[in-house]
Amino acid sequence: MPLMRTVSDLQRSFSEVDQLCHETRKPVYITRNGQPDLVIMDADAYREQAILRQEIYEYEMELREKAIQAYEDIKAGKGVPLHEALKRMGWE
């Protein structure tokens, strides 16, 4: 369940919202007129998430490049049928 506070809560008691962000290390959604308006969170937690997102992105790009290369290899006739590959690996 996301942590939610109103803009009024933020204005009246910033220190409570600040403490909540640091203690939970989770994003706190700030609503205005019942609708999401802002998201605030602990800076260290944000940095860790940003690093993780970058690592995931780089991994996905690496997989994408390998998939493209594999597709090009198959188009060029460099592949072997699945049953042949399984046999070579001793799995069949």
Handedness of CA 59, 60, 62, 67 (dihedral sign): positive
Q: Where are the domains of the chain?
A: 3-41, 45-88
pLDDT, tens only, 31-89:
999 999 999 999 999 999 999 999 999 999 999 999 999 999 999 999 888 999 999 99
Structure tokens at 74: 């198959």
Give 92's pLDDT tier (boundaries 50, 70, 90): confident
Specify the pLDDT at position 52: 98
Q: What is the CATH number of domain 3-41?
A: 3.40.1620.10
Beta-carbon-side half-sphere exposure of residue 18 (alpha carbons within 13 Å):
5
